[in-house]
Structure 1
Amino acid sequence: MRERLAALPWWVHVLLIYGASRLFSTVVLIAVSRRQIASPWGPASPSYEEFVNFWDSGWYQRIHDGGYPVELPRGDDGNVLENQWAFYPLFPAAVRLLSRATGTGWNPASAILATVFGFIAALLIYRIFRLRASAPDARWAVALVAFFPVSPILQIPYAESLHLMLLALALYLVMTERFLAALPVVVLMSLARPAGVPFAIGLGLLLLVGICGRGSVRSAGGLIRLGALAVTAGLAALAWPAAAWLMTGEPDAYVQTETAWRGSDLFLFAPWLHVATDLLGPLLGPLALVAVAGALAWLLLSPGGRTLGLPLQLWCVGYLLYLAAFWHPQTSTFRILLPLFPLALAAVLLSGSRAYRLLAVAGFGCLQIVWVAWLWAWLPLFGGGDYSP
């Protein structure tokens, strides 16, 4: 039996691993849905299709059904209310194409498409890992990504699986130095999630390393093509805010919409310190931030982290800098960490022990249950609302 499995093509191995993870997540989602009380999205004990359409899935469905508002909705105080402009258009547009072609509507087309994107992402992630590691190590790293505590989001009508697929393809093209081929991928990726800025940061750092005579890209032609991709990523990051401006007539329509969820203006870097201080106090809060930053730096600079190679390392650095500057830490932060998937390979390479790797995958699976039951399931807080996933 083992010999037969070993003889299967690489893509079958990956699909089996990823399929097992999605089956596990489906069981978890169904089990938790049976304990779900009546919510803003439906009755108690909703079906699987109803349960996966909680939270931001509803916003994507609004875009699928009716597009974006041409006038920003405002409250009695004049501030912009939460609205569709916070959500990028590529995923609902893809679902609309599928639903029109099949006549299925948002349900079940959205969940099916999100799941398919996740399977494609897994194949691309494996190919990325194989550029830097052996096949067994790459399979273990794919398993870590597939069982990541927030991985149920990859089969839920969110843009995460589409973004992960495009991000993996873009990183693969960068690693193989096909920078011009990556141009349309980066543009599409920037219409799925706000990924243009961190991708431009990572490419900019890679370009700087190349100009200094380090790294694999050193030729003038290669540096020019890499620079063109970095500029494209930066410009692509402006595309959606510009679209919101053109459609609504308000230059800061996108920023106003994003800050509607925060309840405060945008301040670079400060929210992390404020939240850490509120949770842990004025001494432990900053120390916790330093400890987390130190742990991430250690992982990226560990032997496993160095195995990733500069493109993956610098993508992680760029994305972490982006989160530090712009992200407002909250319970959704766990979901936002998924694009740091290259760290799964670094984590796998910390030890060749089969027991360590099995324990890591099993631990992630257990944390999936926590994530779904704590954050995806809805339970009103005493002050109203709930912790968002």
Structure 2
Amino acid sequence: MPPGPSPQVTPARPHPDRPPVPGRAAAALAVAAPALGVYAAVRIVGLVVFWAAASAAGKDALHLLSERWDSVWYQRVAENGYGYTVTLPDGGVHSDLAFFPLLPALERGLAEVTPLGLAGAGLLVAWAAGLLAAWGIFSVGARLYGRRTGVVLAALWGAYPTAFVQSMAYTETLFTALAAWSLYAVLTRRWIVAGVLCALAGLTRPSAAALIAALAITSAVTLVRECRAGASDGMVRRHRRMLLGVVVAPLGWLAYVVFVAVREGRPFAYFDVQAQWGNSIDGGAALASFILGLPWPGMLGLCTALAALGRLVFLCVRQRQPLPVLVYAIAVVVISLIGSGYFGSRPRLMMPAFPLLLPPAVALLRLRSTARSAAVLAVTAVASAAYGAWTLLGSGPP
């Protein structure tokens, strides 16, 4: 390969071996196109099934997707800023400070420059972020196990049991997009990019703590290994970009926690707000209590599901996934299970842990038949769509 141009060349002239940024982005998009197409097809199946079910029930499908549950809280923040509270009959208080600011900021910005209202802007952000998340998920899967695995991984994420949330004005797709691309940046040694994306994720959801942990643990292990190998001389200089990325990573999450603390005049005000919503950390006591309070068939089914989840985590470890990917997935699962919040939200909280789907994606490709793999994905997509319609139309908790 010929050497690049000398430093005296006009800066506007691109490196002969490195295409311009738009060209690289277009090439990367072309590579990811099959994954994006399959993901979009899976989500379209979900939307069509839901739309048909909502029409049959005489309900407004668009309203259910854009103005329900947490979506309303985000749009209220986008419209009026923070300060809204609801006092419950038992005297408890639910404050909008429990909701992180990036999605409301994007909703407000889009509503200002487009004809869309806040509800439409929320859907546009969620759907666009879903495609970006699928692209990032594909990129991680393709880098680790090949392009076909990346395509299947994106499709499986689109057919996740609570994937209907990916089509709602919620933060899951936005957070997953930022997390997937941050992990991809770590895998490709772009630590500053990874840190910036992690900081943005920290302005999106509290579960960004899992991503922060993944970056911090990976960098710590890297430094410890070099020290043990006797390569400590100049270590900080060699890894200055990595260390800078790790320092930047928690700034978004910390900034919002400090904002709530200053606003409320209490150093731990954010955690108090979450506790009022029932989202404190109890080490899994609420989950155990919920399981023990179920009739035995429900208890057996839920224990089976948790065992399957544990099996997936074990397979991820046995698969020898890279440290940042593995730490991120396990941390998301742990955070989702050790809180005291409403049990029905926990599958949704675990949805960003897309590396859990890598073992099933690899297993599907071992069928050695495209038709069989496609059939499995089709059945999974239809089942996910039916479950999403059943849940969104009020037939039961997720």
Q: Determine the C-alpha separation between the residues in 2 that align with 1:256 and 1:108.
A: 32
RMSD: 3.1
Query: Out of 117, 129, 142, which is 1:130 matched to?
Result: 142
Which stretches of structure 1, 4 residues or more, deviate above 6 A after TM superposition? 283-287
Q: Determine the C-alpha separation between the residues in 2 that align with 1:272 and 1:89.
A: 28
Q: Determine the C-alpha separation between the residues in 1 that align with 2:181 and 2:71.
A: 24
Alignment check: 8 A CA contact 1:112 1:155 kept: no
- How far residue 346 of structure 1 moved from its aligned partner, in angstroms, is 2.1
Moved more, 84-93 or 352-361: 352-361
Match of 2:40 in 1: 19
Q: Determine the C-alpha separation between the residues in 2 that align with 1:166 and 1:26.
A: 24
Query: Out of 99, 114, 121, which is 1:102 matched to?
Result: 114
Match of 1:61 in 2: 75
- How far residue 115 of structure 1 moved from its aligned partner, in angstroms, is 0.7
For residues 315 and 259 of structure 1, do their structure 2 counterparts lie closer, same or farther at Cα, with a shift above 3 Å needed? same
Match of 2:360 in 1: 347
Is residue 179 of structure 1 aligned with residue 191 of structure 2?
yes
Is residue 312 of structure 1 aligned with residue 312 of structure 2?
no
For residues 291 and 49 of structure 1, do their structure 2 counterparts lie closer, same or farther at Cα, with a shift above 3 Å needed? closer
Is residue 242 of structure 1 aligned with residue 258 of structure 2?
yes
How many residues were matched structurally? 359
Match of 2:315 in 1: 299
Query: Out of 245, 262, 267, which is 2:282 matched to?
Result: 267
Is residue 255 of structure 1 aligned with residue 268 of structure 2?
no
Quick check: which has more Rg, 1 or 2? 2
Deviations along 1:227-248, whole A, 9 cap, x unmatched?
5444443454333222222223
For residues 120 and 74 of structure 1, do their structure 2 counterparts lie closer, same or farther at Cα, with a shift above 3 Å needed? same
Question: Unpaired runs of 5+ in structure 2?
Answer: 1-28
2:80 partner letter? G
- How far residue 291 of structure 1 moved from its aligned partner, in angstroms, is 3.1
- How far residue 76 of structure 1 moved from its aligned partner, in angstroms, is 6.7
Deviations along 1:2-29, whole A, 9 cap, x unmatched?
xxxxxx9323322321221221121022
Q: Determine the C-alpha separation between the residues in 2 that align with 1:184 and 1:252.
A: 25
Match of 1:114 in 2: 126
Q: Determine the C-alpha separation between the residues in 2 that align with 1:144 and 1:290.
A: 19
- How far residue 349 of structure 1 moved from its aligned partner, in angstroms, is 1.2
- How far residue 199 of structure 1 moved from its aligned partner, in angstroms, is 1.6
Alignment check: 8 A CA contact 1:242 1:251 kept: yes
Deviations along 1:93-150, whole A, 9 cap, x unmatched?
1011111101321132221221111112212221111211222222112111122222
Q: Determine the C-alpha separation between the residues in 1 that align with 2:249 and 2:204.
A: 13
Q: What SS class does the counterpart of residue 331 from structure 1 fall into?
A: helix
Alignment check: 8 A CA contact 2:47 2:385 kept: no
Alignment check: 8 A CA contact 1:14 1:126 kept: yes
Q: Determine the C-alpha separation between the residues in 2 that align with 1:290 and 1:102.
A: 44
Q: Determine the C-alpha separation between the residues in 2 that align with 1:259 and 1:249.
A: 17
Query: Out of 369, 373, 378, which is 2:394 matched to?
Result: 378
Match of 1:279 in 2: 294
Q: Determine the C-alpha separation between the residues in 2 that align with 1:330 and 1:25.
A: 23
For residues 47 and 77 of structure 1, do their structure 2 counterparts lie closer, same or farther at Cα, with a shift above 3 Å needed? closer
Query: Out of 78, 81, 85, which is 2:97 matched to?
Result: 85
Q: What SS class does the counterpart of residue 272 from structure 1 fall into?
A: helix
Q: What SS class does the counterpart of residue 82 from structure 1 fall into?
A: strand
Q: TM-score, normalised by structure 2?
A: 0.79
2:38 partner letter? I
Match of 1:365 in 2: 381
- How far residue 251 of structure 1 moved from its aligned partner, in angstroms, is 3.8
For residues 248 and 206 of structure 1, do their structure 2 counterparts lie closer, same or farther at Cα, with a shift above 3 Å needed? same
Q: What SS class does the counterpart of residue 98 from structure 1 fall into?
A: helix
Deviations along 1:6-57, whole A, 9 cap, x unmatched?
xx93233223212212211210221222244xxxxxxx52142454422211
For residues 135 and 289 of structure 1, do their structure 2 counterparts lie closer, same or farther at Cα, with a shift above 3 Å needed? closer
Alignment check: 8 A CA contact 2:210 2:327 kept: no
For residues 146 and 290 of structure 1, do their structure 2 counterparts lie closer, same or farther at Cα, with a shift above 3 Å needed? closer
For residues 364 and 254 of structure 1, do their structure 2 counterparts lie closer, same or farther at Cα, with a shift above 3 Å needed? farther
- How far residue 285 of structure 1 moved from its aligned partner, in angstroms, is 9.9
Q: Determine the C-alpha separation between the residues in 1 that align with 2:394 and 2:303.
A: 32
- How far residue 309 of structure 1 moved from its aligned partner, in angstroms, is 2.1
Match of 2:221 in 1: 209
Deviations along 1:281-301, whole A, 9 cap, x unmatched?
7x9799769735641332113
Is residue 168 of structure 1 aligned with residue 190 of structure 2?
no
For residues 326 and 211 of structure 1, do their structure 2 counterparts lie closer, same or farther at Cα, with a shift above 3 Å needed? farther
Q: What SS class does the counterpart of residue 277 from structure 2 fall into?
A: helix
Alignment check: 8 A CA contact 2:163 2:388 kept: no
1:364 partner letter? T
Alignment check: 8 A CA contact 2:195 2:246 kept: no
Q: Determine the C-alpha separation between the residues in 2 that align with 1:301 and 1:253.
A: 37
Moved more, 155-164 or 144-153: 144-153
Deviations along 1:128-178, whole A, 9 cap, x unmatched?
112112222221121111222222222211111111111111111111121
